[in-house]
Amino acid sequence: MSATTASSWLAPDDESATSTVVGYICLLLSCTAFGTMFVPLKRVDARDGFFVQWIECGVVFIVGSIIYCIRDFPTFEPIACIGGLLYATGNVFSVPIVQGIGMGIGFLIWSSLQIAVGWSVARFGLFGWLAPTNVKSDVMNYIGIALTLIGGGLLVLVKQEPVILDPVSYDLQPSTTESEKTQEISSESSRRDTTKDLIIRKIPFVIMAMGLACMHGFMMSPIDILKQKHPTNDKFKVFDYIFPFYSSVFLFSTIYFFLYSIIRRQKAYIEQRLVIPSIGYGILWTAGMTLWFVSSDRLSQVVAYPITTRLPPLISAALDVFVYKTVKGTRNLLTLLTAATIALTGVILIALSNQI
């Protein structure tokens, strides 16, 4: 009997089905990582977030370098660096958004607009640089997108209570003075807050979320352009674009952190206790992003993109309800449940739109 490669044992249909299953598994794992990536930062004061995002991006660069070595140093693709630039620029705003309007709600605002931008580019193309992507059921795909956006819009209406930050989360015995001061500030702030004041204070963070969404909505487009420009049967080819993407993420985050340090000087917030949470944040983001590369390659961006940007916010919102207890009240919980049901229905329709 002649030697047979492993891939030849599978019929084309079986191989395609296996690839699809792998894609959905990676998609779910990616969503889980993205949905929990802010957990390490939830109870620490990250302030403006520049130090946090720089540490996070250092982790991203290390993982990218390891993948680059495993792939035997493939050709460096500068076009992929554009995606890293867009991510690093938008990432500057992510921590302040979470601190300003909450992990679940903030995530949901920027993910809704990000879905609209990312899905539109994947579905209809980009000025001739990127060809449009077709699905088996356009109607199902369109309805799914509409439902995910409606679900995100409803979730913005959910009110969230602030989390009391732990200023000494890694000290064995927090000082009574600091603890009492934190509680007094939180109590005084909650008494002053009115609905109008809360809305006014959220406006800058909403604007940040919109800017982040646009940049992150386009960040995968350079990778898709490269895949269309260099078609291949190598199922692992997508990993060759990770190092240019991740290295540019670290490069531009370093530039932003350097400028921040020069401008702020002694007021720059660099805190030793943020290092460990930031590393945790970086590990979770890198895991989610790497798995996203795989899922989008196996399932197509028009399917993977909206799901990857909708499920993680729902996971974050669930954490706000069941772990951090920052979403309370019957009306709030009903709104959250309704929005989550609508959004999940949209996610299911999007997933099925390329299968039926």
d(CA 85, CA 83): 5
Q: Which helix (DSSP H) or strand (DSSP E) does residue 16 occupy?
A: helix 12-36
User: What is the dihedral sign for C-alpha 4, 7, 12, 14?
Assistant: positive
Q: pLDDT by residue (tens digit) across 17-46? A: 888 899 999 999 999 999 999 899 888 888
What does the block give as tokens for 120?
């539109």
Range in 178-187, 230-239, 259-268 with the lowest mean pLDDT? 178-187
For the chain, the structural domain boundaries read 16-167+202-353
d(CA 307, CA 145): 9
Decide which of 163 and 338 is more confident.
338
Q: Looking at residue 219, what DSSP letter applies? A: T
Q: Which helix (DSSP H) or strand (DSSP E) does residue 292 occupy?
A: helix 275-299
- pTM listed for this prediction: 0.79
Q: Which of 298, 234, 293 is nearest to 67 (CA)?
A: 293
pLDDT mean over 152-174: 61
Buried b (16+ CB within 10 A) or exposed e, 19-51: eeebbbebbebbbbbbbbbbbbbbebebbbbbb
Q: Looking at residue 8, what DSSP letter applies? A: G
